[in-house]
Structure 1
Amino acid sequence: MKYILTGPLGLLLIILILLSSCESPTTQSAATTSAPTGQTTEQKNSRPAQLKSAVAQDLAALLHLIDVRLLPLTQRAATRPVPLDSLRQAFRQCRLAYKRVEPFTEYFLPATSRLVNGAPVPEVEVEETKMFEPAGLQVLEPLLYPDPAPVTTDTAAYRELRRQTVRLRRQVLSLQLLWDEQEFTDAHVFDALRQQVFRVVALGITGFDTPLSAAACLPEAAAALSALEKPLRLYIKAPREAAPSLIPKLQAASAFLRRHPDFAAFDRMAFVREHANPLSRGLLALQRQLGIEPFSGELRALRPETATLFDSNVFNPDYYTGNRQWFSNPAKVALGRQLFYDPVLSGGKGRSCASCHQPEKAFTDGVARSSTLTGGTLRRNTPTILNAALQAGQFYDLRSPNLENQAVDVIGNRDEMHGSLETAVGQLARQPRYLARFRAAFPEAATAPEPVVSPVRIQNALAAYERSLVRLNSPFDRYVRGENGAELSASAIRGFNLYAGKARCATCHFLPLTNGTVPPTFQDSEAEVLGVPTHPGSTRLDPDLGRYELTKLAPLRNAFKTPTLRNVALTAPYMHNGQYRTLEKVLDFYNQGGGAGLGIAIENQTLPPDKLHLTRQELADLKAFMLALTDTTNTRAPGK
């Protein structure tokens, strides 16, 4: 059936669609503005205006495909069998059509786009203890894949397929209506183009969008890159130094993906080094050549002037502070480093932050669970703080929104440091060397009414030191960037290809951070339910409820933050309970399908329970790649 928006019913449907888009728990991008009431001829002929029109046409084409191909088939399937191949073909056509608009809908309208092609898991609003039903193409996928697909045998599945298709249509129509209101600049266009290259690297080639239909992964990634050609041609009007080679680079990248469609065998390292990185560098070069400056003044997780996703300074740790007054400076970092190693914060108990976060062990402590000050052991393993600044939540249960809050929790915890920030303020204020450091770190304190040493400044200084511990210059990073002289073993290269492919690691431990901070905007950090047992070999689920203890929503039961795998060679033992002492044991756990694959009864496991069937050599290659993620440069304790 094709829906026609005419008369009062059409108007009512438009209003309902707009209201439904407003109910999304995610907000739309702040990079957009309202459309002006009138435009000059010059504005209408501008490159952004031409691009806006082209994207509108592609959105109309997507809606047309849903109306004439997918929706009629799902309607017919409710009354009589429809060949599964026909349903899948229509579904794949819709996904490919979405990839043509993805660079711009994801950039300008992320909340609505999530309901067209977001992950098929409920959106959790922690503060309100609410869940929102997922929608879109990834929700349709499990109804059509794998074999045998549910719709071939279950009438209820047919009905669900149609319901979700109608919801998909509604969200695409919302995109159309919202897109009509967008106005943007040349700088926004180039920002969106580079972000799409990053999206393809971090999500497109890993199978994030296609967990059950792996054969569609690389053709869709090719389509996602090809979508950049039309906008680029609007900007390449005359011969320039960088311009003539950029279109061929884009075409070569898309062709490489199409020539090698085998998901398991695809050489992702070659694609990133030889195609994706040169393409994103070329986009930035062309942007500057045209006199279109990046948004250097905007605060983002990913620096706007970034050339590739693997640059060593690609991230801005200050983004995660939530407060511009807490931004780092060298004096804050120096003060925080001194406080980090000073037991004054533990209230005379002789323990400092470095007691559990030891530099020589990548700021962990090497034990399953640390000893408490009261004679027991802590509930959870000590995580590394290297790169901890690059996540939107702290602790395994993500209960703290930033490093400042995390410091309060640890210092005041009677089992960990049993200290008092207020008591520490009095002791530090009596020490001239500390007073001088606080004044240097917080120059605004000279005119402030409160004393220079305060609890919040202690918190901020500690956090500033931790934000200085971003390390993204491992052997892998240098090699993937293509630095002169950088080498990586053949085993580690194969391991990277497995990590971002067959082994499915990168669909949760996202590139380039290898943690749960979601690319390409890196605004949110995810948690997963793995089904970790009480100890290796056990079929009993670890009783720690994780995020569920704080937010009583069923999907969060036994959910824990996805930690970084960087420096994993130094951070054993592993998992939130520290029960896996070697990387080999961890890799075997994943290879078996997590807890569910081991026979643990856990209904909400987010890790696919299917066995990966990785060979011994493949497991060894994965380990080699993970060992190549080590970078502890300049992290020694004072005096060492």
Structure 2
Amino acid sequence: MNALKYISLILLFSLVIASCREHEKPKTISANTESMFNEDIRQYYFKTLDSAAYFIQKLDTANTLEINKKYFLKSREWYKRAEPMLIAYDYENYLSLNAPNLLKVEMEDFTDIKKIKPKSYQVLEELLYSTEEIFQKDLHLVLEYLKVRIPYIRKNHILYTQRDRHHLKMIRDAIVNIATKGITGFDSPMLANSLIEAIYNYESIQEVLSFYKSEFKDKTLYDEWTNEINKTIKTFKNQEFDSFDRYGFIKDHTNTQLALVDATASDWGIELNKSRALDPKAINLFSKNFFNMKMFSLQGSPSISEERVELGRTLFNDKGLSRTGTISCATCHIRERAFTDGRRKAMGNDGKDLQRNTPTLAYAVYQKTFFYDGRGDGLEGQIVSVVNNENEFHMDLKAIEEKIRTNPDYIEPFNKLYDGEITNMNVRNAIATYIRSLTPFDSKFDRNMQGLEESLTKEEILGFNLFMGKAACATCHFPPAFFGTVPPKYDETEFENLGLTKNTDFEHPILDDDPGLYHPYEVEEKRHFFKTSTVRNIEVTGPYMHNGAFGTLEEVMDFYNKGGGQGMGLDVPYQTLPPDSLELSKKEIRSIISFMKTLTDKEYEQI
């Protein structure tokens, strides 16, 4: 009798649960309210973090090295599954868990300088897989941090009020991150485990999409996603890091997936946020509209127009804006040389060399800091330094205003474009607008990536694959602009210490003495650090490096192949370039140079 009552109660309870489920509000996609799928995604996020924490807890300094390696790989796998959500919803903790094994120095002012030694998965990887003896104290510190930090991230998550568009953008950012950073070895420096870890990223993308399966109006679109991700995962399986075809992957898969994101936004009836660094509607990694130009412009700036660009061009070429009336912006930034000057170091108004080489202005807009030492903040801001420098324009902003006010040729355009306000800010904005227009994305490489032609040679494709893989160039020169502004947020431009030499005598190397980022705060750990420049148009922008020490791309590649200054035996305590030889063959170096030459924009190809 008791058994029958028990069974009856179970059946009754099941009926109540079933009835409640029948009355649950069906999940739907909304453009304007909190996502009904937040709980599904949150629970999956918790699963990934809990699993990463579970395996990190098993690492211990008392374990054998092999046991620690086994648990590290399992924890790292689950971290990689969590990564798309970390990037989207907890970016600061993503940066902390994923930090490279380099001292981080935060410099706000002379009284607020922080030096932070990372304790991340990358540090842990290097400790466990380095050929050098493991320092148990270092291992203990990293483990203790991660054992506390991962549960902390889980407990203090902010995955509460996201909308469906946030989850779709999360997928998009993950796709961009994999293509621009993930497959380069950026965060797996010892193991080069990038291809396997990309699979974990894509499996998380697939999991999130599965929650939305029933909400696709076009059911074939969900099938397209499933087929595409399955093909992508298959592409990564059983591949060697050095020989993986990154060119084919980006062209055939990344760009396909960006198009699927755009189609999904339309299918769901939502619009991705336009107030971010990337244009959410761009369907090609190498298209001109991949970046959102507005977000790389001064807040409140007027829109870019042909007339405003033309005014900026005129001002850029106007020698009358300098004290001597003999130099303009174009004196050092010559259009035919992709806005460089062909000199080792820029020439001042007295005919003497300035401190550093003239950097290209092409694609400069997509950087977050300016000048090799990062002292310039924004395009409008960096112009101030040029105007005030006694060896350059040697003027002040008020004097420039007056020169333009008294020039009748400027009255009409300023009346039309700036409501007649001839201020130094509007003058600088016009020049900056012209510089912002120097982003054609129409090089041979771009045209091939965009599907406009099939003209790349096997050597050039090999060069790109080496650049993105074995040669590790792309771990600092991130595509598609190939400079140091870091994807997928593109909100920080990196600085590196290469141990640069004064010349090309690598048998008897002498360290260049330019202090770089050491000034103005005089932080020794930042001595010899310089901004990572673009390699776009590199064929016409020599000589190279901040000191113009290298006249040819062969010399540049030889320097990197040797492991920079440290690799040549110089004392460079904070060098960020790994000192080990890249072991690139002559054929591989030729291929990388051939690829870099395909990044020359159309207007410079015949120069």
Shared fold (TM-score, shorter chain, > 0.5): yes
Q: Does 1:401 align with 2:385?
A: no
Instruction: Give the Å deviation of 1:42.
Output: 4.2
Q: Does 1:125 align with 2:106?
A: yes
Q: Distance in 1 between matches of 2:326 and 2:596?
A: 35
Shift in CA distance, 49/90, structure 1 to aligned 2, threshold 3 Å: farther
Asked if the contact 1:546–1:559 (Cα under 8 Å) also holds between the matched residues in 2, the reply is: yes
Asked if the contact 1:397–1:559 (Cα under 8 Å) also holds between the matched residues in 2, the reply is: yes
Shift in CA distance, 54/235, structure 1 to aligned 2, threshold 3 Å: closer
Shift in CA distance, 353/45, structure 1 to aligned 2, threshold 3 Å: closer
Q: Does 1:474 align with 2:455?
A: no
Which digits, 9 at most, give the CA deviation of each residue in 1:266-324, with x for residues without a partner? 1111111122211221122122122122223x2x2211222232222111333233422
Instruction: Give the Å deviation of 1:628.
Output: 0.3
The one of 525, 529, 553 equivalent to 2:497 is 529
Q: Does 1:139 align with 2:123?
A: yes
Instruction: Give the Å deviation of 1:396.
Output: 0.1
Shift in CA distance, 43/546, structure 1 to aligned 2, threshold 3 Å: farther
Gaps of 5+ in 1: 1-39, 152-156, 446-451
**DSSP-derived class of the 2:105 partner:** strand
Count of matched residue positions in the alignment of Structure 1 and Structure 2: 574
Instruction: Give the Å deviation of 1:610.
Output: 0.3
Question: Which letter maps to 2:497?
Answer: V
The one of 191, 201, 216 equivalent to 1:224 is 201
Larger Rg belongs to: 2
Which digits, 9 at most, give the CA deviation of each residue in 1:16-69, with x for residues without a partner? xxxxxxxxxxxxxxxxxxxxxxxx9649887944454444344345334534x4
**DSSP-derived class of the 1:411 partner:** helix
Corresponding residue number in structure 1 for 2:68? 87
**DSSP-derived class of the 1:370 partner:** coil
Corresponding residue number in structure 2 for 1:544? 514
Q: Does 1:62 align with 2:62?
A: no
Corresponding residue number in structure 2 for 1:380? 356
Corresponding residue number in structure 1 for 2:339? 363
Q: Distance in 1 between matches of 2:237 and 2:485?
A: 29
Question: Which letter maps to 2:459?
Answer: S
Question: Which letter maps to 1:474?
Answer: S
Question: Which letter maps to 2:414?
Answer: F
Shift in CA distance, 306/41, structure 1 to aligned 2, threshold 3 Å: farther
The one of 125, 133, 145 equivalent to 1:167 is 145
% identical aligned pairs = 33
The one of 589, 593, 596 equivalent to 1:623 is 593
The one of 613, 634, 640 equivalent to 2:583 is 613
Asked if the contact 2:484–2:532 (Cα under 8 Å) also holds between the matched residues in 1, the reply is: yes
Instruction: Give the Å deviation of 1:382.
Output: 0.3
The one of 136, 145, 155 equivalent to 1:177 is 155
Which digits, 9 at most, give the CA deviation of each residue in 1:556-607, with x for residues without a partner? 1100000000000000000000010000000000000011111211110000
Corresponding residue number in structure 1 for 2:11? none
Corresponding residue number in structure 2 for 1:340? 316
Corresponding residue number in structure 1 for 2:453? 485
Q: How does 1:163-312 map to 2 (within 5 A)?
A: 163-179=141-157, 182-214=160-192, 216-237=193-214, 239-260=218-239, 262-296=240-274, 298=275, 300-312=276-288
Asked if the contact 1:362–1:632 (Cα under 8 Å) also holds between the matched residues in 2, the reply is: no
Asked if the contact 1:335–1:441 (Cα under 8 Å) also holds between the matched residues in 2, the reply is: no
Question: Which letter maps to 1:114?
Answer: L
Q: Distance in 1 between matches of 2:162 and 2:556?
A: 47
Corresponding residue number in structure 2 for 1:512? 480
Q: Distance in 2 between matches of 1:275 and 1:572?
A: 34
Shift in CA distance, 455/634, structure 1 to aligned 2, threshold 3 Å: farther
Asked if the contact 1:58–1:101 (Cα under 8 Å) also holds between the matched residues in 2, the reply is: yes
Corresponding residue number in structure 2 for 1:102? 83
Shift in CA distance, 66/290, structure 1 to aligned 2, threshold 3 Å: closer
Q: Distance in 1 between matches of 2:247 and 2:69?
A: 30
Gaps of 5+ in 2: 1-22
Asked if the contact 2:53–2:150 (Cα under 8 Å) also holds between the matched residues in 1, the reply is: no
Which digits, 9 at most, give the CA deviation of each residue in 1:158-210, with x for residues without a partner? 23212212211222122212325532011111111011000000111000010
Q: Distance in 2 between matches of 1:63 and 1:554?
A: 40
Asked if the contact 1:205–1:500 (Cα under 8 Å) also holds between the matched residues in 2, the reply is: yes
TM-score normalised according to structure 1 size: 0.86
Which digits, 9 at most, give the CA deviation of each residue in 1:390-418, with x for residues without a partner? 10000000111111111111122111222
Instruction: Give the Å deviation of 1:477.
Output: 1.4
Corresponding residue number in structure 1 for 2:422? 453
Asked if the contact 1:397–1:561 (Cα under 8 Å) also holds between the matched residues in 2, the reply is: yes
Asked if the contact 1:547–1:560 (Cα under 8 Å) also holds between the matched residues in 2, the reply is: yes
Corresponding residue number in structure 1 for 2:432? 463
